[in-house]
Chains A and B, each alone.
Chain A
Amino acid sequence: DTGVSQDPRHKITKRGQNVTFRCDPISEHNRLYWYRQTLGQGPEFLTYFQNEAQLEKSRLLSDRFSAERPKGSFSTLEIQRTEQGDSAMYLCASSLQGENGYTFGSGTRLTVV
């Protein structure tokens, strides 16, 4: 297993379009997290899954955002009707319940033009 994978690495989209990102966690990790990082800031928590259940969503996750983790494996983060303010790095991380510390993926950089 090579760690947490995110796809795509970069995405440029026009305002108003929908985008979807994918995260493949470390295979034995049952917890998966999405964070968003804007330029010059630290990552901010968006949402968290334990297995297939989404257990917490940040207030940052507006109605235009939806995340899924079918079958408790990979996860997708969809942004509908993108806005310029959505431009950021979207980071995925995973961990094993009962163990501390995350493993992060390389992130997906979204640019909304």
Chain B
Amino acid sequence: KQEVTQIPAALSVPEGENLVLNCSFTDSAIYNLQWFRQDPGKGLTSLLLIQSSQREQTSGRLNASLDKSSGRSTLYIAASQPGDSATYLCAVGSGTYKYIFGTGTRLKVLA
């Protein structure tokens, strides 16, 4: 059974810092991996999608990497801003349609 773990559970950083969020999964036979952002009481916004054959994806200040063999993904946020404050969720695609989510990392960027 696939299990997804995110560390740390919460993170507070001053504005401008570069930071790394970690995601680990127990079964390396994944279809893809997706990082989402969730603001309090809201739905999920897709940030980056990495196919199982890819090593990384970049979008603006965000970079996500994938190492299937070690069961790990990282989300790198450069030059953090207060507007980046949210919960970041890692979701592992266990087939062509279903995702297994981690419990998220709550990020607070202080002005």
Instruction: List chain A positions with a Cβ less than 8 A from chain B.
Output: 4, 6, 31, 33, 40-45, 48, 56, 89, 91, 93, 95, 100-107, 109
Contact = CB atoms under 8 A, between A and B. Distances in A.
A56 B95 CA distance: 12
B95 to A, nearest CB: 9
Contacts, number: 57
A109 B40 CA distance: 12
A109 B41 contact: yes
Which range holds the interface residue count of chain B?
Answer: 20 to 34
The 3 closest A-B CB pairs, nearest first, are A42-B101, A106-B43, A104-B44
Contact of A102 (B4, B34, B42, B100): B34
A101 B54 CA distance: 15
Contacts of A109: 41
Contacts of A40: 103
Given A42-B4, A42-B89, A104 B99 contact: no
Contact of A42 (B45, B49, B93, B103): B103
B48 to A, nearest CB: 9
A101 B103 contact: no
